[in-house]
Structure 1
Amino acid sequence: MKTIVLAFFASASLTAWGQSYKVAGTVLDAKSKVPVEFATLWIEGSGIGTMTDSQGKFVIQHLAEGKHEVLVRCLGYSEYKLQLDVRKDKENIVVYLSEQTLALNEVTVTAERKTADATTAYTLGRTALDHLQSVSVSDALSLLPGEQTSKFKGLTSSAQVITLRGESTEMGNPDFGTVVEMDGVRLSGNATAASTSGTDTRNIGNSNVERIEVITGVPSVEYGDLTNGVVKIVTRKGKSPLIVDVAVRPTTQSYAVSKGVELGAKAGVLNLSYERVRSVSDIASPYTSYVRNAFGVRYSNSLHTKTGKTLSVDFSLNGNVGGNNTKADPDAFKETYTKSRDNALWSSLSFNYMLNSPWLSNLRGGVTFSYADNRVEEKKNQSASSVQPALHTIEEGYFVASKYEEDPSSPIILLPTGYWYVTSFNDSRPINYTAYLKARWSHKIGGVTSNLLAGADMKGEGNLGKGTYYEDMSVAPTWREYRYDELPFMHNLAAYAEEEITLPFRHSQLLLKGGLRSDMTFIPGTVYGTVSSLSPRVSAKYSFGEKEHGFFRGATLRAGWGKAVKLPSFEMLYPRETYVDRLAFAPGAMADGTTYYAYHTHPVLPVYNPELQWQYSLMREAGMDIRLKGVRISLSFFYNTLSQPYTSTRIYTPFDYKLTDQSALNDCLIPSADRVYSIDRTTGVVTVSDKNGILTSQTLAYKEIHDFQSAVMNVNGSSSSRMGLEWVLDFDRIKAINTSIRIDGKYYRYKGIDEVMVPSTSSLTDTDGQPYKYIGYYVGGNGNYNGFMTQRLNTNLTLVTHVPKIRMIFSLRFEGTLLNTRQNLSEYSGGTRSYVLDSQSDYLPSSTQTDIYNGASYVATYPLYYVSREDMETRIPFMEKFLWAAEHDKELYNELSKLVVKSTTGYMFRKQGYSPYFSANLNVSKEIGKYLTVSFFANNFFYSMQKIKNWQTGNEGSLFASSLVTPFNYGISFKLKL
């Protein structure tokens, strides 16, 4: 932190050569010519900007000499890019903003690439969101190159998470590493109950979103705690009419209202919004539903000085009350239900002091707060014909079950017989907060433009939930308490600096950007202590050949490299204490009809791994943007490596306990009707007493059981790679038919191999009746495959017809998947992991076949080595010993065979894929007058029943009701502006 601050002020002490000038003007409504207040003006690629006052006036001081592109934005208006060539003071600039309607000549309903950035980034505007009629923020990302329409018809099926340049099934949890923020607030952190999953976007109000900015390439160093990109959601800010939205589709209905109220002279603007969405899983039985009651409050104001300085203040409060509910389903068992809360509250308070001075362009700061209530309540029916125990023991020893009404504090409860209900709760309430401060200094030294960013942020994360608990402990099943609110908070302090330099040449321009982020993570009271990490990132952009006419009209080459570190989740940091429960004595039904159970409980302390390293991603990207006559081409190649991913293994250690079985009662002289049993809590010895006191108490014989206990230890896994090529071809509009054509697509390849050593044993017993005594250590787990490779090639064709005169836009999008493959892999860098079998009944590898990928053989996977309970330190090579035992020791061979994992099919390692398949979507938007907009969509409107072939099995299937394409879905929406 100290180094970064010193570097910042050392740079600031340099003499800034070159002239700077004043730029001033007015922003007016293009139609009414009235001043536009709260319009923002930003110099692209710099930290210089300002806002208009109540008279629509703006002033930018100390703007360097040269050409600049100014981005002008205001709620309800179309963006405008002003080209300035500053050679002297300019004080009478007039900018006209046009109201955002379909009557404009240029309307964008696709993802628009941010060409000013050296990295790959896109903007999804409000017009595109309205035309798409998305019900969830994640729906909108289908507009990105090569992405396809969401497979969800509604909101009830599952969490809708966003994964950039990755799939949620891959190693390293790429969705967990994708940042989603709204108005600067991180929507999800590392302290949720499902700690390694991505951000569920169903609870985000969709109608109040003004735009979505997506960074898929190498982000700025101001973004930390990520591995897979950034999604920035920006809500409405500014004066706006009363907007009423109504959207209807077969399974989902949405109603929303919003208004931007001007509070008076210099009092600012207050934006209010409310949205209610109800989505059901099946219109034939609409009882499983998801409800969203999203609300938003945003206050913004700006103070202006005569010298051109502007201070803007922004406060936002967004949230949701809702969740899943199956309580009303008459098809479910009577009185059973599942209710999942999805309540959230996100708030931020920020300021932006736009000084535009020679030594500081702007200073930003603020605080954010995020809280979620994700309690799940479930009521299930249970039944039993005989009494069963429920264990709640948390101490070492032997314990006897008793009825709850006799001893409510008993560590083992006897559950009732017959029918009853169990109501359980899982209470997770993650919370996180952030404070940040950052400064930008944009200046010019000679002909070189410098844009320096320096900042710091501090955040804390925790969970206030109670974990899992039960309404009625008399019927609670086997369970132990694990409270989230007792886990220590995690804090992170970060400092960063980034320099962006623009070098102009005669007919070209070079932009160089480099930065460094330093994170210090504090986890008090744990073995981790304080952990530091560095994230360097660099990018470059070279533009040349820019001109307005001719076939070749300019090109931009860009490249980037960066490291991004993902902080661990609470699931990784705080492993749970586990318990090994073993039956110690059960004499059967008693003479009075009661049941006696005694169990041995062995607590296994959580295993913390002080060697756990923070997961990180190395991002590499190269791209090209070309402007030709009639077409704009954008290509982006990426190769990302995810290293040290969070994963887990197990640790086995021997432990013994005493078991007294019913055969020990054969020599008991006390009549069964007079027997009273007791078990020593420490030794486990069972004593039978005569309730009449006539016969002497008798100690029962027992046998020592030699078993294993296991504990989960979180570790770092093996690296995986993600590679892809994205392309966009935007053709100029065909004026005769008012139609533009876009072709976009993506080739994506993933490969991941897990080489973490994972121990496992067999549930079978030894010949002497003891638990199995060997532990096998498998490379990447005890499955037949320890990784997989996927390839996917998507291409989309979009036809957009826009007729401004009738205020109508029509789009037809064809989505095609030309390649979709997955191949299971069994690999080990140190040798062979799996072997071909001559037949399914064999255990020894084939002597004639070695290729497990021939697609027609059963495969066996062997542990790399094994250990015995008698000697846990000596690691015996499995294959060598197994082959020897097959010839010399049949008993050992039979025992070791229990560690062999055989495939269930002969085609497990054959490449799985499908022949090409397609679907088509139709979207229409029509403005009726000034106040009403009607939109209609039909996804997969061909209702494709195309036959496709599965390469792995050779079977042919239909796309009807397939998860490969979006299901047929349609809807209509109405937007009323008053």
Structure 2
Amino acid sequence: MRYLRVFLFIFILPVALNAQINLKGIVLDAETQEPLGNVTIIDLNSKQWSISNLKGEFTLELKSKKSTQVEFRLLGKKVETLNLNQNELLQSQVVYLKDKNLRLDEVVIRAKKGQSFSEIILEEEAINQVQSFSLNEVLEQLPGQKITEFSLNEFKPIAFRTVRPPGISDEGFGNKSFGTAVVVDDIPLSNNGNMQSFTANMSSPFNPNYLGFGDRDAGTSFNGNFTNANFGVDLRQITTQNIEKIEIVEGIPSAKYGDLTSGLVKIDQKAGQSPFLAYASLREGTTEYGLNKGFQLSEKAGFLNVSASLLKANANPRVSYTDYERINTQLMWSWANQPKSIRNSLTVKYGFNVDNVNYEEEDKDQKRVKNEQKDLRISNRFKYKFEENHFLDHFELNTNLTLTDQYSFESKYVNNGGKLVGFQTEEGVYEGIYTEPTYIASKEVEGKPISVYSAANIYKSFSTEQWTHHLSAGISYRMNDNKGRGRLGSPENMGPALVSQTNSGGQAFRPYNYADEVKAESQFSLFIEDEFSTYGDNSKLNIAAGLRSDIQNSYLTLSPRLNSYYIYKDLKIRAGFGLTAKSPSLNQIYTGYRYYDVILGDFRVPGEYNIGAIQTFVEKENNPEVKPSRSLRTELGFDYRFDFGSINITGFYNKLYNGITSSPYPIKRDLADVSVDDSDLSNPEIVIDGYNSYYYTESQISNGLESEDIGLELFMNFPEFIFKNIDFSLQGSYISTINNNTEDAYVKSSNASKPESFGVYHQGDKDLSHLTFGGTLNYHIPDIGLVIAVRSEHFIFDKYKRNASLYPYAFIDKNLNKVPISSENQNNEDLYGHIIRSSSAYENNRTKVFHNFHLRISKDFLNGFRFSFYANNFLDLKPTSIERSNGKDIEMINPDMVKLSFGTKIEYQF
């Protein structure tokens, strides 16, 4: 009760202190001078909002008499932002909005820094700077990212402010991708219920299912992986045509946002009246067609936005055995009451995505792979603005229900059957079964994730003599479950994991039903935040301080957040600090029981009998002790505005801890010695003659990964560079990443008579670093609606080093006791040669500088058409680098170099 009184005191006290004024004015069309209704007006400081009436008139309640920024938004019009000083706040404002097209005098075609902290803003023309079939291509414009070889035949993860590793299975990258939040219209997308994994995290949680195509010798394995269980949202499923603005927070997010560790992507979709827009986009083997329209139902009924798109992609247009298909449809109904104090938006979206690979004609094993996903997403956003002098300013309630149907399938022809496999789900010795000599091996996973989200937030702004405060607080609830049939099939059709050899063993497959075994994961969160500011002569100090509390997987986490900036004339200094938390996914918690099958004997008498003895061991199920991952995020930067441009530099240090990884552990079991009693040849029986000690390792999910990122980011913008209508921007990124798996690794003794059963090793860390620069040169001729843009990428160095211990620092004895080895004896091969492994250290340093250049030409026609032409690596550069292949260094075309490719897009508004 005491905390409730404190909470109410915080929000009621400002009523007495409030010193508000009303900003009034009218919004007109810049060309026709006609009034514009339904314009959304937002005070960017307090987030207070208003909507203009049909006469274009508006009244915006301001909580401060100090200067502020007011934004005017209407679909199809260029966003207008007014910087109003203390005197201008008392004057009636006349605001003109221009049509949004390439005939504007000024078009922002690049990513730009936000007005507050270190956020990056991408608006419509910046989104169109690249030929974007999905959100992934748009985000490749950011510092630290790079344009990759275009392919939609694989899932697209992303992580910010970290070095992209050479392989998708990197645990550091996997954790950071999983911790990157994507929020669409204030409602987060969730991948926590995705359990589309064939292997149940037996070795590593970051080994996605593989389609079976792609050049694995090209120095990268970011190709052909189609399921993103344990990773972040698949960005290729998010279309861009309906996006109005993207805000990327690479640093410290507001306390309002949770269930993340590595960054935040906020997407605002288009809503309101708009003409029909039909478009077609083509690049290599990928085509997309779409149609958008915003209807005004009536003055009282509001607006209905309808969009639909169809995409088909082929990884290699010369053949037809790999394809990806995406269908997205969406209805958005937006409504406001007559006084404009209530706004509501209801969105219904259906998505269909399918990966399909068919090698039946081209491949000898007739491999087929399919991954299908259907999504129904229903979201509602409600906002209520209280009357003047109320102790609250406004209230919002956001709710979402997402129903997903997933199906993953793989099959291939097997011609080396007749192998012995186990099938029991209880421990013991039993007679195994044999696979057919030839058969179709298949894997199937059916998942039906359910995601529920609800959040209620309140806002209050007030001013004192010196300070202006913007308070916000909220409560949210998330639930993820999976009602699918899970991993399907039977052991004899999975493809033999074991060889028919006595005492050979390995991890085994058993069906696992998600609907029966998986329990729903719930998250409950609270946050409170105060963004307060004060003004001086030519200066401003702004601080946003908040605290977030999450209960995730029964663990309580507290996450303080602090962002600040100080402005003095043209200099701005920024600093931030914060903690974040990311809940483990259902796939990381629920793995089912761990089965280990050992072949005790395969007895065959030709013409009489075949009988095989299997012993199955069963280990504990699931990983209930897995905690949320945590991240410490810090940054320090400055901005300076010159007469001819601006510069932004940000330094950062981030540390991920309690990261998800795989933790092996040694096991000792009693293994049966068996023989066959074949006194009756028609009914041979397995006989247990005794038991011997048997050692092997199992694996579980743990919080043993740590990762550190340190780096610098650079933005430089020159609105008019040398010549009129030409602007130039430069960005750069230096990042050093160190991933450290704190769990032990085990090497089984090659000599069973020795007292050491396993050698114990440190995993070793991975060091990655890169230095890149990029530039964008835009030539804009507004009179004819033409933009010519050249984007360059400059790769200075890209280093990767995997450190690994060659010698054990301890051993596991016959009773599973861990015994340290003295440093002077760790490399003693006479004593420990049977547990010393071969070196697994690796180093690949690309220090040869190379460059790439990309071209965009867009033209707006007066009849409603827009034509865009895109070319990646339009100079057809082919730099070489030294790569390691089969133990040798060879010179080859740099695998990071994007190949020459062309694309076009045609849009028509009517």
Q: Give the aligned partner of residue 176 of structure 2.
A: 174
CA shift, 1:261, in A, is: 0.7
Q: Give the aligned partner of residue 957 of structure 1.
A: 891
Deviation string, structure 1 residues 432-489 (Cα, Å, up to 9, x no partner): 1111110111111123111001111011111122221139977886630122222111
Q: One-letter code of the match for 2:595?
A: Y
Q: One-letter code of the match for 1:865?
A: A
Count residues with an aligned counterpart: 858
Deviation string, structure 1 residues 750-785 (Cα, Å, up to 9, x no partner): 1223332233424x45369xxx961222222xxxxx
SS state of the match for residue 65, structure 1?
coil
Is 1:416 the counterpart of 2:432 in the alignment? no
Mean alpha-carbon deviation: is it higher for 132-141 or for 85-94?
85-94
Is 1:640 the counterpart of 2:654 in the alignment? yes
CA distance in 1 between counterparts of 2:324 and 2:410 reads 15
Q: Give the aligned partner of residue 460 of structure 2.
A: 441
CA distance in 2 between counterparts of 1:25 and 1:471 reads 71
Match of 2:150 among 145, 153, 156: 153
Q: Give the aligned partner of residue 708 of structure 2.
A: 721
CA distance in 1 between counterparts of 2:828 and 2:748 reads 21
CA shift, 1:276, in A, is: 0.6
CA shift, 1:564, in A, is: 0.5
The 5-angstrom pairing of residues 117-266 of structure 1 reads 117-118=116-117, 120-149=118-147, 151-156=148-153, 158-166=154-162, 167=164, 169=170, 171=172, 173-193=175-195, 194-266=228-300
SS state of the match for residue 595, structure 1?
strand
CA distance in 2 between counterparts of 1:883 and 1:760 reads 15
Match of 1:924 among 827, 836, 857: 857
CA distance in 1 between counterparts of 2:568 and 2:542 reads 12
SS state of the match for residue 9, structure 1?
helix
Q: Give the aligned partner of residue 533 of structure 1.
A: 557
CA distance in 1 between counterparts of 2:436 and 2:748 reads 34
Q: Give the aligned partner of residue 875 of structure 1.
A: 819
The 5-angstrom pairing of residues 728-807 of structure 1 reads 728-734=715-721, 736-762=723-749, 764=750, 766=752, 774-780=757-763, 786-807=764-785
The 5-angstrom pairing of residues 281-292 of structure 1 reads 281-292=315-326
Is 1:903 the counterpart of 2:848 in the alignment? no
SS state of the match for residue 291, structure 2?
strand
Q: One-letter code of the match for 1:377?
A: F
Q: Give the aligned partner of residue 567 of structure 2.
A: 543
Q: One-letter code of the match for 2:394?
A: N
CA distance in 1 between counterparts of 2:848 and 2:335 reads 56
CA shift, 1:269, in A, is: 0.5
SS state of the match for residue 556, structure 1?
strand
Q: One-letter code of the match for 1:426?
A: V
CA distance in 1 between counterparts of 2:490 and 2:623 reads 32
Q: Give the aligned partner of residue 630 of structure 2.
A: 616
Q: Give the aligned partner of residue 605 of structure 2.
A: 589
Is the contact between residue 387 and residue 595 of structure 1 (CA under 8 Å) also seen in structure 2?
Answer: no
Q: Give the aligned partner of residue 626 of structure 1.
A: 640
SS state of the match for residue 898, structure 1?
helix
CA distance in 2 between counterparts of 1:54 and 1:400 reads 81
Match of 1:345 among 376, 385, 390: 376
Is 1:915 the counterpart of 2:848 in the alignment? yes
Compared CA separation, residues 415 and 972, structure 1 to 2 (3 A): same
Q: Could you list the runs of 5+ residues in structure 1 that have no partner in the other structure?
A: 402-412, 524-529, 546-553, 686-701, 781-785, 827-833, 835-860, 887-892
CA shift, 1:898, in A, is: 2.2
Deviation string, structure 1 residues 85-120 (Cα, Å, up to 9, x no partner): 4559858432211010111011011112111x23x1
CA distance in 1 between counterparts of 2:41 and 2:495 reads 61
Q: Could you list the runs of 5+ residues in structure 2 that have no partner in the other structure?
A: 196-227, 497-507
The 5-angstrom pairing of residues 322-401 of structure 1 reads 322-327=353-358, 330-333=361-364, 336-355=367-386, 357-358=388-389, 359-384=391-416, 387-401=418-432
The 5-angstrom pairing of residues 423-572 of structure 1 reads 423-470=442-489, 479-485=509-515, 486-521=517-552, 523=553, 530-545=554-569, 554-572=570-588
Compared CA separation, residues 766 and 395, structure 1 to 2 (3 A): same
Deviation string, structure 1 residues 645-692 (Cα, Å, up to 9, x no partner): 12231222311122235xx78xx7x4x8x453123xxxx53xxxxxxx
CA distance in 2 between counterparts of 1:491 and 1:33 reads 53
Is 1:811 the counterpart of 2:789 in the alignment? yes
Is 1:676 the counterpart of 2:683 in the alignment? yes
Compared CA separation, residues 443 and 797, structure 1 to 2 (3 A): same
Q: Give the aligned partner of residue 224 of structure 2.
A: none
Q: One-letter code of the match for 1:652?
A: P
CA shift, 1:618, in A, is: 0.7
Is the contact between residue 203 and residue 344 of structure 1 (CA under 8 Å) also seen in structure 2?
Answer: no
Q: One-letter code of the match for 2:434?
A: L
Deviation string, structure 1 residues 835-884 (Cα, Å, up to 9, x no partner): xxxxxxxxxxxxxxxxxxxxxxxxxx122211222x32362426566677
SS state of the match for residue 870, structure 2?
strand
Is the contact between residue 460 and residue 490 of structure 1 (CA under 8 Å) also seen in structure 2?
Answer: yes
Q: Give the aligned partner of residue 600 of structure 1.
A: 615
Compared CA separation, residues 876 and 658, structure 1 to 2 (3 A): same
Q: TM-score, normalised by structure 1?
A: 0.83
CA shift, 1:744, in A, is: 0.9
Match of 1:974 among 891, 906, 909: 906
Match of 2:875 among 942, 955, 963: 942
Q: Give the aligned partner of residue 810 of structure 2.
A: 865
Deviation string, structure 1 residues 776-799 (Cα, Å, up to 9, x no partner): 22222xxxxx11211111111211
Is the contact between residue 807 and residue 826 of structure 2 (CA under 8 Å) also seen in structure 1?
Answer: no
CA distance in 2 between counterparts of 1:878 and 1:481 reads 45
The 5-angstrom pairing of residues 271-282 of structure 1 reads 271-282=305-316
CA distance in 2 between counterparts of 1:482 and 1:4 reads 45
Q: One-letter code of the match for 2:628?
A: W
CA distance in 2 between counterparts of 1:492 and 1:717 reads 22
Q: Give the aligned partner of residue 20 of structure 1.
A: 20
Compared CA separation, residues 468 and 950, structure 1 to 2 (3 A): closer
CA distance in 1 between counterparts of 2:5 and 2:858 reads 52
Compared CA separation, residues 596 and 820, structure 1 to 2 (3 A): same
Q: One-letter code of the match for 1:678?
A: E
SS state of the match for residue 606, structure 1?
coil
SS state of the match for residue 225, structure 1?
coil
Compared CA separation, residues 555 and 329, structure 1 to 2 (3 A): farther
Compared CA separation, residues 958 and 777, structure 1 to 2 (3 A): closer
Compared CA separation, residues 736 and 424, structure 1 to 2 (3 A): closer
CA distance in 1 between counterparts of 2:462 and 2:488 reads 59
Is the contact between residue 204 and residue 320 of structure 1 (CA under 8 Å) also seen in structure 2?
Answer: no
Q: Give the aligned partner of residue 334 of structure 2.
A: 300
Compared CA separation, residues 7 and 185, structure 1 to 2 (3 A): closer
CA distance in 2 between counterparts of 1:596 and 1:703 reads 19
Q: Give the aligned partner of residue 68 of structure 2.
A: 68
Compared CA separation, residues 884 and 382, structure 1 to 2 (3 A): closer
Is the contact between residue 18 and residue 65 of structure 1 (CA under 8 Å) also seen in structure 2?
Answer: no
Is the contact between residue 203 and residue 343 of structure 1 (CA under 8 Å) also seen in structure 2?
Answer: no
SS state of the match for residue 326, structure 1?
strand
Deviation string, structure 1 residues 522-581 (Cα, Å, up to 9, x no partner): x5xxxxxx3211000111110111xxxxxxxx1111100000011122233234311221
Q: Give the aligned partner of residue 57 of structure 1.
A: 57
